[in-house]
Amino acid sequence: AQSVTQLDSQVPVFEEAPVELRCNYSSSVSVYLFWYVQYPNQGLQLLLKYLSGSTLVKGINGFEAEFNKSQTSFHLRKPSVHISDTAEYFCAVIWTGGGNKLTFGTGTQLKVEL
């Protein structure tokens, strides 16, 4: 079955430190990949997406992600985090030819500490 895995449920990090949030997916077909952020009591907001082309994708708020087809991964990175980055981060996939529905991972809670 096709699935999305976010192994880290929580990631604590100090302010100004780098962070990587991991995402892996299982698929035998091409995919579109997304990272969404959910701030407390707010809706999901798109950070970035990979559709095709360059495997390094840059998004909003200084985040970037790299698509690795051989490892079926799409890890999210930020070189220096801020307190305001504290939120829940969701990786999501659309399998091409499988419709337009997003399949989400279980999320990673990023907690930035002083």
Partner 1 sequence: GAGVSQTPSNKVTEKGKYVELRCDPISGHTALYWYRQSLGQGPEFLIYFQGTGAADDSGLPNDRFFAVRPEGSVSTLKIQRTERGDSAVYLCASSVSPASGGQETQYFGPGTRLLVL
- Chain residues binding partner 1 by CB under 8 A are 4, 6, 32, 36, 41-46, 49, 51, 90, 92, 94, 96-97, 99-107
- CA dihedral sign, ordered 42, 20, 109, 102: positive
C-beta closer to partner 1: residue 3 or 68: 3
The residues pairing with 37 across neighbouring beta strands, listed in sequence order, are: 45, 89
Q: What is the nearest approach in angstroms of partner 1 to the Cβ of residue 31?
A: 9
Residue type, 11: V
SS (H, E, C) 74-112: EEEEECCCCHHHCEEEEEEEEECCCCCCCEECCCEEEEE
In the bound state with partner 1, the residue whose beta carbon lies nearer, of 38 and 86, is: 38
Q: Least distance (Å) from partner 1 to the CB of residue 60? A: 12
Name which of 5 and 73 has its Cβ closer to partner 1: 5
CB of 44 to partner 1, least distance (A): 4
Which three-class secondary structure state does DSSP give residue 9? Answer: coil
Identity of the residue, 81 or 89, whose beta carbon is nearer to partner 1 in the bound complex:
89
Q: Cβ–Cβ contacts within 10 Å for residue 65, how many?
A: 27
Q: CB of residue 107 vs partner 1: minimum separation in angstroms?
A: 5
